[in-house]
Chain A
Amino acid sequence: MATDSTVTTPRRAGRLPRALRSRFFGWLVFAGVLLAWQRYASTHPSPRYATVTDVAAKWWSEILGGPLPAAILQTLRTMLIGYAIAAVLAVAVGVLMARVRFVYVLVEPPLELLRPMPISAVIPLLILYLGIDDAMKISVVALAAFFHILLNAYSGAGSTPRTMMDTARTFGLTWRQTMAEVVIPAAAPAIFVGLRSALAASLVISVVVGMIAGNDGLGHLLMIQQQSFLVTDLIVGAATIAMLGYLLNFAFLFVERRILHWHFGATRAQD
């Protein structure tokens, strides 16, 4: 065999230049879009448009003394309570479904029927039963988050490696110890996948339920502003929700990296 001693990595076809591969480039494009928007809005004065600087100024004054902070807190409160309830319940039910046959046969059929139902379809019914206050909103958020977490907790808890279960058995762990010390930690990476998508869903639903119930929160604020043609305020509201989502995800990733550091390490070690 005539092999050359030097091996060169072939240059991947169509590889982007260095500058274009940096994330910074994306932010640069975003800044460009903002700039174009600013230019267009300031050269075409109309009540339908607002300039970027107007939006920023409005946002600042809203934060300092407008209805925005109260609305943010209200929405976040609804969201986080509902999310927390869903997380606890869904992990518990998911693990039990995966590990206790009786729970599985009992719970699986109704869940399978409920799962494809759009959450917005039950809001009117829940309003009828629970009114338009916290109880209803928290329930709606919890319901929306529940299935995201449940399915992942179920599949995670159902796929504990056999050798790991054998280890738990031969070390004489009780059922509860096996769940707490082996099954749930082993399912944690899957549970976190569910928790993350549930977080996004919870934010969306907590805003939407405010719009429908129409008494408080960011959703309600947006509806009022829309009815008053307050374009600048509407953009402020939408941008605020986007930022909330970004911050929540950021905080989530921070916590996830702490708790699942072993998982990311093990995954890297396999590569």
Chain B
Amino acid sequence: MAISTTSVTSSASVASPAGGAGRPAPLLEAEDVRMTYRGRRREVTALRDLSLRVGAGEFVAVVGRSGCGKSTLLRLLSGLLPASAGEIRVAGQPIDGPPRQARCVFQDYAQSLLPWKTVAGNVRFGLRHAYAAPAGDHDALVAHYLDLVGLGHAADRYPWELSGGMQQRAAIARALAAGPRLLLMDEAFSGVDALSRATLQDVILRAWAEAGVTVLFVTHDIDEAVYLADRVVVLHPEGHGVLADVRTDLPRPREQVTTRELPDFLRHRRDLLNLVLD
């Protein structure tokens, strides 16, 4: 497993929020965040007392039952929804609207990609609206990001000509092309079939390792969370913040068959399922 150790150190060297004194401020912090939706007659609090820290370079999954406020949390962290109380900071700065350093990958890829642009055109959109566009020729960069997600052959096709899994890969390439420090993914793989889903999981793992981006991945799928992340955050079923924060730290690189057979994988999966189903 020589390869796996090197890849872990290289991708997580920036990270280790577990490090002792003098560690840098986490990339993403949420402090006592509450979200209350005001209806005509009554108020519904979808999320309360939520605090969370994500260090640079981490891959964190957020799981929980439906109704636990997962999607609300992601909309808050992406700045699309202002929190009713509490504070969200990205790189130490309180956010007021979508933070420049973050990009989102939404579940509904068909409505997120621009259908009048080709796949390459959509990635170019990411480059034009970048946080930190990597230097270089745009055409070469477009090709680079398309290759990263395995869409090199589909550059000139339109999103609606592609399968759901390929469309979501295009959306990932577009998000990465913007050079974000933080990638927020909301049930991003829920809309595709099981095999495409496995491909997407490996695409995002490779992109995470290569682009050195921090990923916060919201999912309702415990297996997916354990497979992808180093840390799994379980939300309280009724939106009362974080129920558990589990470091899984399975060896990398992950592999669809062997990783899922590891005793540690099965143990974490069982523990997390028990937590969520309780």
Q: Which A residues are closer than 8 A to B by beta carbons? A: 161-164, 166-167, 169-173, 177, 181-182, 185-186, 188, 262-263, 265-266, 269-270
Contact = CB atoms under 8 A, between A and B. Distances in A.
Given A166-B106, A181-B125, A266-B160, A172 B116 contact: no
Q: What does DSSP make chain A's interface, helix, strand, loop or mixed? A: helix
19 contacts: A161-B108, A163-B112, A166-B78, A166-B80, A169-B79, A170-B78, A170-B103, A171-B125, A171-B126, A171-B129, A172-B129, A172-B131, A181-B114, A185-B114, A262-B116, A262-B117, A265-B161, A269-B160, A269-B161
A264 to B, nearest CB: 10
Contacts of B102: 170
Interface string B100-142: 1011101010011011110000000110010100000000000
A163 B108 contact: yes
B251 interface: no
B160 A167 contact: no
Contacts of B78: 166, 170
A145 to B, nearest CB: 25
B158 A265 contact: yes
Contacts of A166: 78, 80, 104, 106, 112
Interface string B229-270: 000000000000000000000000000000000000000000
Contacts of B79: 169-170
A161 B111 CA distance: 6
Nearest to B178: A171
Contacts of B116: 185, 188, 262-263
Nearest to B131: A172
A186 B114 CA distance: 8
Given A170-B103, A170-B104, A262-B158, 19 more contacts: A163-B106, A163-B108, A164-B112, A164-B114, A167-B104, A169-B79, A169-B80, A169-B97, A169-B98, A170-B80, A170-B102, A171-B178, A172-B100, A173-B129, A177-B129, A185-B114, A263-B115, A265-B158, A266-B115
A270 B115 CA distance: 13
A162 to B, nearest CB: 8
A186 B78 CA distance: 23
B114 A182 contact: yes
Interface string B156-181: 00101100000000000000001000
B158 A266 contact: yes
Contacts of B125: 171, 181
B188 to A, nearest CB: 12
Contacts of A169: 79-80, 97-98
A167 B186 CA distance: 13
Q: Ordered nearest first, which 3 A-B pairs have the shortest CB separation?
A: A161-B111, A163-B111, A266-B160
Contacts of B112: 163-164, 166-167
A179 to B, nearest CB: 14
Interface in B51-106: 78-80, 97-98, 100, 102-104, 106
A162 B106 CA distance: 11
